[in-house]
Structure 1
């Protein structure tokens, strides 16, 4: 399980089944498709996707299907406070930072030889 993860897209899903989610948390109390995390207008929100054991912000259980705002220093808990707890540390608008500079189209891939390529 990751100690930390960076959310680079505007929306990611969290759960236990790799085929269904962007962020995998391999813990029995986390549902296959557990929650959705969204970044919009400088805000971060999490929505419980009707998980079995719930999603919490600072130990307050979220209502399934209802987005809740996550603030820096809030704890987001997926299913079990002792196994799947993450703390929001900062929210950075990457898109705004790139607009100040000339955007550059780069694609990073792993080559079959294991060397990193940029095109």
Structure 2
């Protein structure tokens, strides 16, 4: 009798592999963003609508304020030389 060997591969759903959210707090207002919605591993944020994925229309936020980098499942936040800094 021949033996049949099988292996079952179960793919992890995309939303579990990279289920990441960021909350942007500006003054007394906040906005939550799902990082998966951008479909890329570098997400820029700042006041300038044309240059950023996440737009924060607040005077204390620089035009190109910072970026969020996703690498190997880890999330990094970097300030891009903003006037008032980035806190996380």
Q: Same fold (TM over 0.5)?
A: yes
Q: What CA RMSD, in Å, does the superposition of the two structures yield over aligned residues?
A: 1.4
Long gaps (5+) in structure 2: 1-28
What is the CA distance between 1:2 and its match in structure 2? 6.0
TM value normalised by structure 2? 0.60
Distance 1:24 1:3 in 2: 10
Q: What does 1:17-36 align with in structure 2 at a 5 Å threshold? A: 17-36=48-67
The 4+ residue runs of structure 1 with deviation greater than 4 A are none
Work out whether 1:55 is the aligned partner of 2:75: no
Long gaps (5+) in structure 1: 58-119
TM value normalised by structure 1? 0.45
Work out whether 1:3 is the aligned partner of 2:31: yes
What is the CA distance between 1:7 and its match in structure 2? 1.2
Which string of whole-angstrom CA distances, capped at 9 and with x for unpartnered residues, describes residues 17-64 of structure 1? 10111110111000000001011111000010000000012xxxxxxx
Bigger Rg over Cα: 2
Q: How many residues align?
A: 57
Which string of whole-angstrom CA distances, capped at 9 and with x for unpartnered residues, describes residues 42-92 of structure 1? 1000010000000012xxxxxxxxxxxxxxxxxxxxxxxxxxxxxxxxxxx
Distance 2:74 2:46 in 1: 21
Q: What does 1:1-119 align with in structure 2 at a 5 Å threshold? A: 3-8=31-36, 9-57=40-88
Distance 2:87 2:47 in 1: 17
